[in-house]
């Protein structure tokens, strides 16, 4: 799921922190943020944010559980705009458009 925010007026890291996300790491041109549901760390919302001029492009998905099969890039995730992910996207849009 993608969200595009045009004409940023504040620091994007602070925007995501204010929405409850924790900075995880920089992955070349993208920043990674997470918002876990529980102390175990999963499930969690996972955001990749890319800055392009004064715009921010966010790619968000739901990591259902920790990666398996020894491959840190494979995990069960939800990418469709439904259920908890749809609710989270609505929540973020309400925060950032007020």
Query: What domains, with CATH codes, occur in the chain?
Result: 2-67+74-97 (3.30.310)
Instruction: Enter the tokens of residue 63.
Output: 């990591």
pLDDT given for residue 28 in this prediction: 83
Q: Which of 65-69, 86-90, 91-95 has the lowest mean pLDDT?
A: 65-69
Candidates 50, 44, 54, 48; CA nearest to 20 is 44
Mean pLDDT computed over 15-44:
92
Instruction: Enter the tokens of residue 76.
Output: 């069960």
Mean pLDDT rounded to a whole number for the chain: 85
Q: Are 75 and 62 in contact (CB under 8 A)?
A: no
Instruction: Enter the tokens of residue 87.
Output: 């609710």
Write out pLDDT tens, residues 64-86.
877 655 555 544 555 566 788 89
């Amino acid at each position: 799921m993608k969200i595009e925010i045009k004409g940023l007026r504040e620091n994007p890291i602070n925007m995501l922190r204010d929405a409850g996300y924790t900075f995880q790491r920089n992955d070349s041109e993208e920043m990674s943020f997470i918002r876990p549901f529980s102390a175990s760390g999963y499930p969690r919302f996972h955001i990749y944010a890319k800055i392009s001029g004064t715009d921010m492009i966010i790619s968000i998905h739901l990591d259902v559980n920790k990666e398996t099969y020894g491959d840190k890039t494979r995990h069960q995730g939800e990418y469709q705009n439904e259920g908890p992910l749809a609710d989270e996207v609505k929540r973020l849009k309400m925060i950032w458009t007020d």
